[in-house]
Amino acid sequence: MQELEPAVLNKINTWLNGSYDADTKSSIQKLLDDKAYTELTDSFYKDLEFGTGGLRGTMGPGSNRINKYTIGTATQGLSNYLLNKYPGEKIQVAIAHDSRNNSDYFTKVAAGVFSANDITVHLFKELRPTPLLSFAMRELGCRSGVVITASHNPKEYNGYKAYGADGGQFTFPDDGLVMQDVAKIKSIDEVKFTPIEENIKLIGDDLDESYLQKIAQLSVSKEAIQRQSDLKIVFSPIHGTGITLVPKALEYFGFKNVILVDEQTTPDGNFPTVVYPNPEEKEALTLALAKAKEVDADLVLATDPDADRVGIAVKNNDGEFVLLNGNQTGTLLINYLLTAWEEAGKLTGNEYIVKTIVTSYLIDEIAKAKNVTCYNTLTGFKYIGELMTSLQGQKTFIGGGEESYGYLIGELVRDKDAVVSSTFIAEMTAFYKDKGSSLYNALLDTYVQYGLYKEKLVSITKKGKSGAEEIKALMEKFRTNTPTTLGGSKVVMLKDYERSLETNLESGTVKPLDYPVSDVLQFFTEDGSIISARPSGTEPKIKFYCSVKGSLSSKEAYAEADQALDEKINSIMTDLAV
């Protein structure tokens, strides 16, 4: 036992001697018998906490794992928060889940705990996309909501995303208050696991129908779609929830030629055809790309398991399919939306878009040229949703997104939405094809007009307790020893979002940053490069977002100019020495 820290051993004994089921205790005892001290430490050294995406971790026994008890404790804490915040009210919540292993079981656990606290639960009877949870909350007047999902993480993971009354994920101060109420629960005996069945109500198909009709009303280029209704669209839900709504949504928009990747249409938490169910990964789109080549498609769409993010592939000018990254797709979407709104005479000067501080600043340039306000938020779509709620009724939200393949068009939900995004990606494909162009050429035209921007995300994984300590030390090193040059250009400004300070490194001038406190650093160089360092809130990773820019004289010069920016990013990462 000497290899286990006293605090870890104490927590293990609490589980072995507490009101936990026999299978859980047996699993823990086996790890002890096998002297699996590293795994035990990682499972018990802390309690799972809400990060930028809520509660997420590998499944298994332990306080730092996703299981019945951590799900139950989180739900009891959330229930306590709701009962304190809305005294005397008959509180309603909604719950959805994705296709992951145990998601349906964890959903029943959460529903049972809410119901036992005399909270009315609106429960989707089958798996549904995360954005539909946000829509349902707003439609049904819920004070909170939960979706059981781990997004694009490997199959061993699951998670718990909690939402506030506006249909967006909790933000300050409520996220902290929920965490406090969860932390106050010192014993599993405080969790009310026995459901009150009459408090649980199933959500009917009419909610799907309402959502589909309302997103179809957002369409801007209906005539172009009518002329291009046979556009060949290959779609893969990558074994997730996208299959339930994306094909129907495309049909509602008027697209008649949607081709499914049959091998990936069945929901399956083992994700048997991919290594990771992540549309950011080329490997996850292998089957979709093969199908697209076979049928000579115009567009490839692939959504992650909970259908809040979407990856795309388009044909380049050599007829080959190329994957677009999240910044490129986001840029195309915003440029299309602002162009289409402008052509339709819908821009009044009161519209706005939103992106995050690590998403392409090309979007800012496009918005400026169109005289549309562009807001920047911290990383995490909850901040975009929070801003939308604060501006509701004052300004008109057109669209927004973040570099990690999450976008939103219209104000129906308060989270990233791959269903509505897929329809608008298809719509803009039809829009440009109707003009004799393509998405690929539209992107190159944007670069020629506004400048060539290139972004790259470098993620470094540091697992377990030791990994978390390494990440913390790395961030502290960058704070105390700020790089003087990156990629051959002088670092002229540092933004430290944890200390809420912006420092001009040339003049020494320091001014406050008007953002919520967050562990993020941004280095700005003399030549316009922006490098952001940020520990992930949902994964054991530290992420570096590199953004560089140059000019593009013509579409023909793209390959050479792109290569030069690649080399610049590599130089920056070398200078960071990580």
Q: What residues are annotated to the active site?
A: 151
Buried b or exposed e, range 268-281, using 16+ CB within 10 angstroms: bbebebbebbbbbb
| Distance (Å, whole) CA 454 – CA 457 | 10
Helix (H) or strand (E) segment spanning residue 204: none
Running DSSP on this structure, what letter comes out for residue 66? B
| Distance (Å, whole) CA 156 – CA 154 | 6
| Distance (Å, whole) CA 113 – CA 152 | 27
The phi-psi region of residue 35 (left if phi > 0; otherwise alpha if psi is between -120 and 50; otherwise beta) is left
Structure tokens at 34: 């096998």
What percentage of the chain's residues is helix, strand, coil (to nearest 5)? 40, 20, 35
**Interacting residues of 382 by C-beta distance below 8 A, sequence separation 6+:** 52, 168, 169, 170, 171, 415
- The amino acid present at 12, given as its one-letter code, is I
- The amino acid present at 560, given as its one-letter code, is E
| Alpha-carbon separation of residue 26 from 14, 33, 50, 106 (angstroms) | 14, 10, 28, 20
| Alpha-carbon separation of residue 45 from 38, 39, 72, 249, 469 (angstroms) | 10, 10, 19, 45, 13
- Taking CB atoms within 8 Å and a gap of at least 24, the contacts of 339-347 are 339/370, 340/220, 340/221, 340/428, 340/431, 341/220, 341/398, 342/370, 344/220, 346/220, 347/371, 347/372
**Interacting residues of 13 by C-beta distance below 8 A, sequence separation 6+:** none
* SS3 category, 256: coil
DSSP assignment string, 227-240: HTTT--EEEE-TTS
**Interacting residues of 282 by C-beta distance below 8 A, sequence separation 6+:** 323
